[in-house]
Amino acid sequence: MTTHALRSRNWFGPRTLDGLMHRAYLRAEGFSDLVFDGRPVIGIANSWSELTHCNAHLRQVAEAVKRGVWSAGGFPLEFPTISLGEILMKPTTMLFRNLMAMDVEECIRAYPLDAVVLLSGCDKTTPAMLMGAASADLPAIMVTGGPMLRGKWRTEELGSGTDARRLWAERRAGRITDEELCEVEACLSRSSGHCMVMGTASTMASMAEALGMTLPGNAAIPAPDSRRLALAELSGRRAVELAQGGGPRPSEILTAKAFDNAISSDMAIGGSTNAIIHLVALAGRAGVPLPLARFDELSRSTPLLVDCKPSGKYLMEDFFYAGGLPVVLKELLPLLHGDALAVNGRTLGDNVRDARCWNQDVIRPLGMPLAQEGGTVILSGNLCPDGAVLKQSAASPHLLVHRGRAVAFESHEDLARRIDDPGLAIDETSVLVLKHAGPKGAPGMPEWGAAPIPTRLLKQGVKDMVRISDARMSGTSYGTVILHVAPEAAVGGPLALVRDGDEIELDVPKRSLTLRVADAEIARRRAAWTPPVPHFTGGYGRIYLDHVLQANEGCDFDVLRGRRPVRAEESARPTHL
């Protein structure tokens, strides 16, 4: 049995019944036999969906990719993947990130592809596609959909979820009306694209670029900007070269150096806390050990350079006009591994050396940072033995060292029911604790971490409180919110044992989170703890519960970690005899 350098030849090359079937049935789409002349087949994995508004323009992006593939002598074939829309999907897209990664990996493996272009946009679609591609290890290049244009209400600029949440809090406090909120609804999302703050989608697009999996400059180009389509076209052309050259493959790009570069970039842009979970999961696929401690090491040595919401004041459009991620990477070069390989075949250093900053208020020079440390820190202590995460750049400085009494909620439903109860003993010094919102507990670890401030306190002008949970937080959220507490409450982590009135101490400079309750009392509570009833007994939910890992391990499935590279000889087996 002959194998070929191009996998697709195993489908379309043989003069056998199998080859005849493959060619004949694909010709039902109207292709001439020229497409079977030995040119590389480039898959375009498209997470387009009208249910995922952030990705709803990706059909147009795919057309631009196809232009590039055809013009470089390849044969493009677009295929759909499942799509994870942050706004509409319940209970949470995070429940399905690994399912999407499996979809991408297995489609790459099963179809006659020589390289793949990954089209993503909304939060989880980017890490899911990268995870699938990393496991399959076929040459791959990513094109993200790009951020929306800035929102604008009257004279005020609006940033996706960040200002939606802020104005909703204003409405709860009675400072704006329903009619005004209705106007805001029409102004918030005024173009195609994903959230245009430095939320999870923008952060993960930046991570893909910093890792080297996109062409330089991809992350920040606004979705409706014609330059995004031009970049998509160039990415299609590059995919043909990747197929012809057999790489570089994801395994040659997603190295320990690349992850260091991505983490440092995440710290410098004030990226979403979700990036930590996704980078850990992706590193697990790539076979790169990535403990949470590495994030904290790099956070301490990487300054915050980008002034974007929700940490700062600008939006992704401003970030793009200032020069985008290449400028950040250029500033950070002394702290990065400049020799890391990118998908265009050049090193990261070569890719960004000529980048120019056009607005130093948006992207600060390394010597004039917004803060000496990075945006996100890792906490440890007896309340989070396996770690917790806080976005210090989006927290209130006066709460970074804080002691307060716990007000504990057993679940999201409990919180929703009691948070505005006039009888709830809570003030601005209290520490709001939400349990059973983690990977297994919620399930799916929804973005419930930025729990609402009680209306009574909002009306008194309280804008932030220390909040702790095993949940995640939207990348567009802000506040002194401690997330990803591991182990989670549902598996018996110490969070499950917190009771009203317990004293909790947060000390961000010391990176500590402490439940100030005697060990003997904690042991007594643990002995009385019983696990909650599982949410699922069958279906995908059961698979999820049986295999999902904790937050500090990236919430991947245990059985999906690592690489399972596609092998040409596998695809040489006939389908039809």
Residues in contact with ligand FES by CB under 6 A are 54, 86-87, 122-123, 160, 194-195, 199, 201
**Structural element, H or E, at residue 143:** strand 140-144
Pairwise CA distance, residues 8 & 22, whole Å:
10
The conformation of residue 341, written as its DSSP 8-state character, comes to: B
Write the CB contacts of 553 (distance below 8 Å, at least 6 apart in sequence).
280, 281, 284
Least Å distance, CB 477 to ligand FES, is: 11
Least Å distance, CB 54 to ligand FES, is: 3
Pairwise CA distance, residues 276 & 263, whole Å:
8
Choose between 159 and 323: whose C-beta lies nearer to ligand FES. Answer: 159
Pairwise CA distance, residues 396 & 298, whole Å:
22
Residue with tokens 């799916």: 444
Q: In sequence order, what E strands does 326-434 have?
A: 376-381, 384-391, 401-409, 431-434
Choose between 54 and 458: whose C-beta lies nearer to ligand FES. Answer: 54
Choose between 87 and 424: whose C-beta lies nearer to ligand FES. Answer: 87
Least Å distance, CB 199 to ligand FES, is: 6
Residue with tokens 């209400």: 153
Write the CB contacts of 73 (distance below 8 Å, at least 6 apart in sequence).
39, 40, 240
Residue with tokens 């030995």: 38
Choose between 122 and 451: whose C-beta lies nearer to ligand FES. Answer: 122
Pairwise CA distance, residues 431 & 39, whole Å:
61
The conformation of residue 475, written as its DSSP 8-state character, comes to: T
Choose between 201 and 388: whose C-beta lies nearer to ligand FES. Answer: 201
The conformation of residue 575, written as its DSSP 8-state character, comes to: S
Least Å distance, CB 121 to ligand FES, is: 7
Least Å distance, CB 195 to ligand FES, is: 3
In this structure, are residues 512 and 381 in contact, taking their beta carbons and an 8 Å threshold?
A: yes
Least Å distance, CB 120 to ligand FES, is: 10
Choose between 136 and 204: whose C-beta lies nearer to ligand FES. Answer: 204
- Phi and psi angles of residue 122, each rounded to the nearest 5 degrees, phi first: -60, 160
Pairwise CA distance, residues 539 & 537, whole Å:
7
Least Å distance, CB 118 to ligand FES, is: 16
Choose between 194 and 228: whose C-beta lies nearer to ligand FES. Answer: 194
- Give the tokens for residue 12: 């379309």
Burial of 2 (0-12, 13-18, 19+ CB in 10 A): exposed
Least Å distance, CB 272 to ligand FES, is: 10
Choose between 194 and 436: whose C-beta lies nearer to ligand FES. Answer: 194
Choose between 194 and 484: whose C-beta lies nearer to ligand FES. Answer: 194
Asked, as a colleague might, if the bond just before 422 is cis with ω within 30 of 0, I would say no
Tell me whether strands 384-391 and 401-409 are parallel, antiparallel or unpaired.
unpaired
Choose between 316 and 379: whose C-beta lies nearer to ligand FES. Answer: 316
Least Å distance, CB 492 to ligand FES, is: 33
Choose between 146 and 250: whose C-beta lies nearer to ligand FES. Answer: 146
Burial of 291 (0-12, 13-18, 19+ CB in 10 A): middle
- Give the tokens for residue 306: 């980008």
Count of C-beta atoms within a 10 Å radius of residue 160: 29
Least Å distance, CB 176 to ligand FES, is: 22
**Structural element, H or E, at residue 232:** helix 226-245
Write the CB contacts of 30 (distance below 8 Å, at least 6 apart in sequence).
none
Least Å distance, CB 122 to ligand FES, is: 3
Least Å distance, CB 23 to ligand FES, is: 39
Helices assigned H by DSSP within 52-148? 58-71, 97-110, 125-136
Least Å distance, CB 144 to ligand FES, is: 10
Choose between 193 and 404: whose C-beta lies nearer to ligand FES. Answer: 193
Q: In sequence order, what E strands does 338-475 have?
A: 376-381, 384-391, 401-409, 431-434, 466-469
Choose between 199 and 387: whose C-beta lies nearer to ligand FES. Answer: 199
Pairwise CA distance, residues 100 & 348, whole Å:
29
Burial of 525 (0-12, 13-18, 19+ CB in 10 A): middle
